[in-house]
């Protein structure tokens, strides 16, 4: 990069990093200067963060292979997740909180990702000003989901239920991996996965006429690594590169063996990753049950159009300059990447939204070309109002992300579940961490608390995650039955034993559901108590 390029990159990258640090710096500040414990949960897929932290906690406690801690079915540790293993071991070695290590590497990966994006854009925008504008918009742009929400609220046609909040909005509010800014705000997982996807794609294009053992090893290990820690991405990588090669050969009217060999190396690594994943899932019911109920189906395509807003409009316009330059492999590739990944959103699989990972990047590059194509017309026909029109477009491009940022900040100053545990909840969780055995499980009436406990204790919970708790709905019914009344003790004792529940995390507060009084039960023993929490052990 030139000096000017370098200066611009650091200014914009530092600004974006500041934005994605801001909500969490508030949370860590509250944890540091108060008695509240920050859980790591946030707005987007918040319950997944605690799953990642539960893996880190298992690694911190000396494990190398992980269990699904959100279900009580018998299991052995078989899951190998190198990202969380490394982060968990580093948390142990540094004696720093898991959440701090989690976000530290989120920032490290973010800088690397931004650097790679900035340099990749040089293949499409040879004018520095254009490149810098698109780089900025790519990092902060979003759709018009906030305006759809406002419309529903003003029309009194809006359900404040959390699930409806997501489903009734655009994808720019709830599918983090489909938007670059939300990816940066989310977790090191999505950032690293998109960093590797872009790295593989760019290296493949640069080596289109070459094949070397050294580069093939890079392809192999990058693909193997991403296949193990985020398996869904293999479909994106294999499909995009496969379609690109077919079309590239059709354009050239000849099959070149060098890029084909590189692709076959990627396919080999993908196959090995998928084979490993298949074998551990088939042999471990606690993992197979999770996969079988992990439904993340894509919403109607209109929701994606809302989720990209002006980006999608400019994308359609940008197809014109891209098609004009289709003989350039970078322009051909970015078109194929976007079209193939849009098609994958409705592939016949149960994890469709996972296949939106990184889609924002090719859409924005093509949209950038469309933006400058349209800008020439705007400047020509609306000379007097051109600046105002551009300002309006930019406002609509960033409004939803500003809204998300404000919501995250609001959540992080709330000092409430699921974002924080108070000192008594946290002290009780630490008691469980230090006293529960490996195969013991705890139950709590609060589903949010059930989701958080494994990330602190590294131990099993009966009910804690909609996808990872096997038979979630049935277990939720049993949970309500336990707490509903203070009767039926023989059946309740038998059920607690049968479902391998060893501890009850009971909160002394007015909103504890039902009339269940565990302190009166002969089959329960009070083993820990503070001002707000009693932990009972099943005898």
pLDDT tens digits, residue range 362-380?
Answer: 999 999 999 998 887 766 7
Q: How many CB atoms lie within 10 A of CB 289?
A: 21
> What is this structure's pTM?
0.95
Residue 388 has pLDDT above 90, yes or no: no
Average pLDDT rounded to a whole number, residues 449-457: 98
How far apart are alpha carbons 6 and 438 in whole angstroms? Answer: 51
Enumerate residues 6+ apart whose C-beta is below 8 A from 32: none
Average pLDDT rounded to a whole number, residues 443-464: 97
How far apart are alpha carbons 128 and 123 in whole angstroms? Answer: 11
How far separated are the first and last CA of the chain, in Å rounded? 67
* Alpha carbon separation from 19 to 193, 236, 308, 372 (Å, rounded): 21, 29, 20, 27
H or E segment at 443? strand 441-444
Sign of torsion, CA 467 469 472 477? negative
What is the bridge-based pairing of β-strands 533-538 and 441-444? unpaired
Nearest to 130, CA basis, from 365, 389, 386:
365
How far apart are alpha carbons 362 and 202 in whole angstroms? Answer: 12
Q: How confident is the model at residue 162, as a pLDDT?
A: 55
Angle between helices 128-140 and 3-33 (to 10 degrees): 20
**DSSP per-residue codes, 158-202:** ---SHHHHHHTS-HHHH-GGGSHHHHHHH-HHHHHHHHHHHHHHH
Q: How confident is the model at residue 510, as a pLDDT?
A: 52
Q: Dihedral (C-alpha) 111, 115, 118, 119: value to the nearest 10 degrees?
A: -170
Q: What are phi and psi of 195, to 5 degrees?
A: -60, -45
Residue 163 has pLDDT above 60, yes or no: no
Q: How confident is the model at residue 502, as a pLDDT?
A: 98
User: Contact, 220 vs 268, CB < 8 A?
Assistant: yes
Q: How confident is the model at residue 389, as a pLDDT?
A: 80
Average pLDDT rounded to a whole number, residues 208-218: 93
The β-bridge partners of 442 are 461, 503
The β-bridge partners of 504 are 443, 536
Nearest to 102, CA basis, from 51, 36, 139:
51
Domain boundaries of the chain, sorted by first residue: 111-412, 421-538
Q: How confident is the model at residue 231, as a pLDDT?
A: 97
Q: How many CB atoms lie within 10 A of CB 51?
A: 23
Residue-wise pLDDT for 506-536, tens only, equals 998 755 678 899 999 999 999 999 999 999 9
Size of the chain in residues: 539
What is the bridge-based pairing of β-strands 533-538 and 503-507? antiparallel
Mean of all residue pLDDT scores within the chain: 93
Tokens 């529940």 belong to residue: 501
- Tell me which of 74-83, 105-114, 157-166, 432-441 is least confident: 157-166
Nearest to 269, CA basis, from 218, 238, 223:
223
User: Contact, 360 vs 171, CB < 8 A?
Assistant: no
Enumerate residues 6+ apart whose C-beta is below 8 A from 350: 294, 295, 296, 297
Nearest to 504, CA basis, from 493, 33, 345, 351:
493
Q: How confident is the model at residue 126, as a pLDDT?
A: 86
Residue 191 has pLDDT above 60, yes or no: yes
Q: Which class for 319: exposed (0-12), middle (13-18), buried (19 or more C-beta within 10 A)?
A: middle
Confidence of residue 159 (pLDDT cuts 50, 70, 90): low
How far apart are alpha carbons 218 and 235 in whole angstroms? Answer: 19
Q: How confident is the model at residue 512, as a pLDDT?
A: 61
Average pLDDT rounded to a whole number, residues 4-15: 92
How far apart are alpha carbons 307 and 215 in whole angstroms? Answer: 37
Residue-wise pLDDT for 292-321, tens only, equals 999 999 999 999 999 999 999 999 999 999
Q: How confident is the model at residue 377, as a pLDDT?
A: 75
Average pLDDT rounded to a whole number, residues 251-263: 93
Q: How confident is the model at residue 457, as a pLDDT?
A: 98
Average pLDDT rounded to a whole number, residues 247-259: 93
Q: How confident is the model at residue 169, as a pLDDT?
A: 77
Percent of the chain with pLDDT over 90: 86
**DSSP per-residue codes, 343-377:** HHTTSSSS-GGGGGTTTHHHHHHHHHHHHHHHHHH
Average pLDDT rounded to a whole number, residues 147-153: 82
Q: How confident is the model at residue 387, as a pLDDT?
A: 79
User: Contact, 434 vs 42, CB < 8 A?
Assistant: no
The β-bridge partners of 229 are none
Q: How confident is the model at residue 5, as a pLDDT?
A: 80
How far apart are alpha carbons 468 and 50 in whole angstroms? Answer: 12
Residue-wise pLDDT for 94-122, tens only, equals 999 999 999 999 999 999 999 999 999 99
How far apart are alpha carbons 167 and 506 in whole angstroms? Answer: 33
Q: How confident is the model at residue 373, as a pLDDT?
A: 87
How far apart are alpha carbons 289 and 181 in whole angstroms? Answer: 32
- Tell me which of 70-74, 158-162, 283-287 is least confident: 158-162
Q: How confident is the model at residue 383, as a pLDDT?
A: 67
How far apart are alpha carbons 443 and 423 in whole angstroms? Answer: 19
Percent of the chain with pLDDT over 70: 96
Residue 167 has pLDDT above 70, yes or no: no
Nearest to 66, CA basis, from 390, 286, 236, 225:
286
Q: How confident is the model at residue 4, as a pLDDT?
A: 80
């Amino acid at each position: 990069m030139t000096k000017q390029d370098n200066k611009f990159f650091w200014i914009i990258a530092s600004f974006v990093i500041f934005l994605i640090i801001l909500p969490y710096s508030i949370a860590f500040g509250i944890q540091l200067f108060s008695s509240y414990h920050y859980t790591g949960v946030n707005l987007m897929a918040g319950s997944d963060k605690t799953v990642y932290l539960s893996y880190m906690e298992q690694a911190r406690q000396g494990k190398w292979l992980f269990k699904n801690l959100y279900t009580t079915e018998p299991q052995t540790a078989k899951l190998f997740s190198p990202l969380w293993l490394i982060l968990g071991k580093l948390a142990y070695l540094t004696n720093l909180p898991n959440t701090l290590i989690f976000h530290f590497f989120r920032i490290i990966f973010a800088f690397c990702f931004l650097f790679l994006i900035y340099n990749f854009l040089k293949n499409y925008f040879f004018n520095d000003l254009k490149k810098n504008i698109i780089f900025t918009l790519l990092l902060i742009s979003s759709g018009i989901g906030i305006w759809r929400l406002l419309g529903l609220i003003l029309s009194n046609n809006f359900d404040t239920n959390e699930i409806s909040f997501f489903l009734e909005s655009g994808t720019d509010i709830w599918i983090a991996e489909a938007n670059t800014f939300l990816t940066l705000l989310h977790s090191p997982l999505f950032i690293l996965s998109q960093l590797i996807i872009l790295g593989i794609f760019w290296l493949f294009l640069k080596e289109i006429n070459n094949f070397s053992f050294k580069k093939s090893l890079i392809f192999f290990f990058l693909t193997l690594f991403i296949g193990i820690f985020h398996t869904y991405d293999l479909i994106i990588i294999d499909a995009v590169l496969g379609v690109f090669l077919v079309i590239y050969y059709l354009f050239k009217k000849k099959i070149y063996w060098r890029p084909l060999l590189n692709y076959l190396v990627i396919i080999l690594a993908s196959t090995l990753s998928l084979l490993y994943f298949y074998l551990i899932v088939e042999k471990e019911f606690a993992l197979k049950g999770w996969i079988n109920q992990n439904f993340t189906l894509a919403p109607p395509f209109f929701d994606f159009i809302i989720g990209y807003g002006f980006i999608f409009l400019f994308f359609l316009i940008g197809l014109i300059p891209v098609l004009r330059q289709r003989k350039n492999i970078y322009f051909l590739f970015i078109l194929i990447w976007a079209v193939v990944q849009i098609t994958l959103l409705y592939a016949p699989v149960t994890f469709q939204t996972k296949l939106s990972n990184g889609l924002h990047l090719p859409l924005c590059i093509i949209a950038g070309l469309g933006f400058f194509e349209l800008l020439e017309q705007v400047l020509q026909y609306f000379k007097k109002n051109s600046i105002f029109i551009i300002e309006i477009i930019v406002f609509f491009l960033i409004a939803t992300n500003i809204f998300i940022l404000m919501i995250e900040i609001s959540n992080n100053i709330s000092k409430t579940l699921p974002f924080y545990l108070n000192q008594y909840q946290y002290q009780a969780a630490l008691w469980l961490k230090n006293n529960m055995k490996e195969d013991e499980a705890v139950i709590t009436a609060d589903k949010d608390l059930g989701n958080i406990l494994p990330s602190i204790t590294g131990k099993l919970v009966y009910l804690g995650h909609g996808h990872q708790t096997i038979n979630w709905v049935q277990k939720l019914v049993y949970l309500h039955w336990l707490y509903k009344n203070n009767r039926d003790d023989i059946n309740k004792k038998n059920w607690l034993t049968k479902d391998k529940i060893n501890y009850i995390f009971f909160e002394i507060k007015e909103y504890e559901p039902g009339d269940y009084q565990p302190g009166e039960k002969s089959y329960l023993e009070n083993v820990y108590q503070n001002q707000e929490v009693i932990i009972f052990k099943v005898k």
